[in-house]
Amino acid sequence: SDGPYSPPDFRGDFGAGLLDLHAMDDTELLSEEVLADSFEPSPLLPGDTRTFQGDFYPVNSKLERGEADFDASISLPMNESDNITREHNVAKIKVVVRKRPLNKKELAKKEDDVVSVSDYAYLTVHEPKLKVDLTAYVEKHDFCFDAVFDENVTNDEVYRDTVEPIIPTIFERTKATCFAYGQTGSGKTYTMQPLPLRAAEDLVRQLHQPLYRNQNFKLWLSYFEIYGGKLFDLLGDRKKLLMREDGRQQVCIVGLQEFEVSDVQIVGEFIEKGNAARSTGSTGANEESSRSHAILQLAIKKHKEVKEGKRNNDKNEERSGKLVGKISFIDLAGSERGADTTDNDRQTRIEGAEINKSLLALKECIRALDNDQIHIPFRGSKLTEVLRDSFVGNSKTVMISCISPGAGSCEHTLNTLRYADRVKSLSKSGNPRK
């Protein structure tokens, strides 16, 4: 009854020694970031000025993206097909943006909505600015992504456009990741929460399809968080967990509780239970959870049929099965938390530095992945180390960048969009970092 399934192959993975050579240099990354973020379009022209960001404007891209070693002579591929795997026509990396509606507070303050979504893939940020003589003007920033969801797009539509196409690939040894990135309050949790529910439904439905029915596949769920560089089991009393690599450089989180999902109903309960367990400190639940990355994993595993009188030698495998594919949903720490590095509180500073490091490392890993680079710099942070096996071999990544529309969030919004833009467009321009 072995059908089309064959055990995972790890040819895409490389030994730890090799990877160490390319261990990340944080100082270098930080300075790159500072460069990019401090970039100001130089002369202030009267009226509107317009800066272009996106993968089809190679002119000035060096400056715009703050990449000192970017070779502008490399032509940027214009068409998406470069990025598409044939079997399922699913892009390896997809970067989308979701804009939430103005909230009550912003409406009460009569804040302007500074984000206009002009088309399925385009958006413009209208940044209010002051000239040297204090006259007001608006600077427009255009962006282009794989998709832009405006405030009227529902969670279901987001699911259909991002995660749904990936589901069938999970049965073919794909490890997928879906990130929600953005400042606190921009809609990450709102966007992320329903996705695993829908995904579990679809995964279970596929399990029962004729193609897989006799494969002994099962769906497993786990949920943990990374807080201050440490791992905690959100479904196991917030027990602190350790990560190790097995002989094949596969990530193993020791003691992480996994639950078999036979009834999809239970996924909702797990999510609620896990959310309730997320970091809560003296400052209140939302405040603290914005400093942690929450990772919910759905894994398809193949189980051996144990015939009577015959015992499987590998007890562990008998119990937990062999990984076929998985999808991880990651509600990232608030992107603004990475800047908490000058806070008065030492703990906050440490957490801020860790978040900064992990978000930069994440960007590097996704870029490396898209370039089919042999060396994936996942050793840069706990987050990327944990996701290591999702950055090699058959992988799919969806980045959902969440933005707040209010004028008061303009700077954070631009930072989020620039981050997303670098994940997407630079990754296509060859290897900008050596």
Residues engaged in binding Mg ion (CB under 5 A):
188-189
Q: Which is nearer to Mg ion, 188 or 302 (CB)?
A: 188
Question: Which one of 97-105, 245-253, 322-330, 351-359 is the stretch in contact with ligand ADP (CB under 6 A)?
Answer: 97-105
Please indicate if the annotation marks 189 as binding a ligand. yes
In angstroms, give the least distance from the CB of 268 to ligand ADP. 17
x-marked contacts with ligand ADP along 386-425 as a string, rule CB under 6 A:
----------------x-----------------------
Cβ neighbours of 143 (radius 10 Å): 23
Instruction: Pick the binder of ligand ADP from 8, 66, 168, 187 (CB under 6 A).
Output: 187
Q: Is 131 exposed, middle or buried (0-12, 13-18, 19+ CB in 10 A)?
A: exposed
Residue 189 binds to ligand ADP (criterion: CB under 6 A) = yes
Residue type, 359: L
Instruction: Pick the binder of ligand ADP from 22, 65, 94, 188 (CB under 6 A).
Output: 188
Residue 185 binds to ligand ADP (criterion: CB under 6 A) = yes
Please indicate if the annotation marks 184 as binding a ligand. yes
Please indicate if the annotation marks 49 as binding a ligand. no
Distance CA 205, CA 118 (A): 36
Are the beta carbons of 196 and 294 closer than 8 angstroms? no
Q: Which is nearer to ligand ADP, 186 or 429 (CB)?
A: 186
Are the beta carbons of 369 and 75 closer than 8 angstroms? no
Q: Which entry of ligand ADP, Mg ion, none binds 433, CB below 5 to 8 A by partner kind? A: none
Q: Which is nearer to Mg ion, 19 or 420 (CB)?
A: 420
Tokens of 373: 């680079």
Tokens of 233: 């089991």
Q: Which entry of ligand ADP, Mg ion, none binds 405, CB below 5 to 8 A by partner kind? A: none
Cα 414 to Cα 44, 337, 352: the distances in Å are 18, 15, 20
Distance CA 176, CA 167 (A): 9
Q: Which is nearer to ligand ADP, 64 or 331 (CB)?
A: 331
Are the beta carbons of 69 and 76 closer than 8 angstroms? no
In angstroms, give the least distance from the CB of 314 to ligand ADP. 40
x-marked contacts with ligand ADP along 55-74 as a string, rule CB under 6 A:
--------------------
Are the beta carbons of 402 and 185 closer than 8 angstroms? no
Phi, psi dihedrals of residue 272, rounded to the nearest 5°: -65, -45
In 3-state terms, what secondary structure has residue 163?
coil
Q: Which is nearer to ligand ADP, 155 or 320 (CB)?
A: 155
Cβ neighbours of 363 (radius 10 Å): 23
Question: Which one of 41-49, 165-173, 182-190, 214-222 is the stretch in contact with ligand ADP (CB under 6 A)?
Answer: 182-190
Cα diameter, the chain: 88
Distance CA 178, CA 166 (A): 10
x-marked contacts with ligand ADP along 100-129 as a string, rule CB under 6 A:
xx-x--------------------------
Phi, psi dihedrals of residue 70, rounded to the nearest 5°: -80, 130
Give, as ranges, the residues between 249 and 308 that touch ligand ADP (CB under 6 A).
290
In angstroms, give the least distance from the CB of 407 to ligand ADP. 17
**Using CA of residue 421, residue 424, residue 426, residue 429, what is the dihedral sign?**
negative
Q: Which entry of ligand ADP, Mg ion, none binds 186, CB below 5 to 8 A by partner kind? A: ligand ADP
Distance CA 16, CA 78 (A): 35
Known binding-site positions for ATP: 182-189
Q: Which residues bind ligand ADP (CB under 6 A)?
A: 100-101, 103, 182, 184-190, 290, 402
- From the annotation, which residues make up the binding site? 182-189
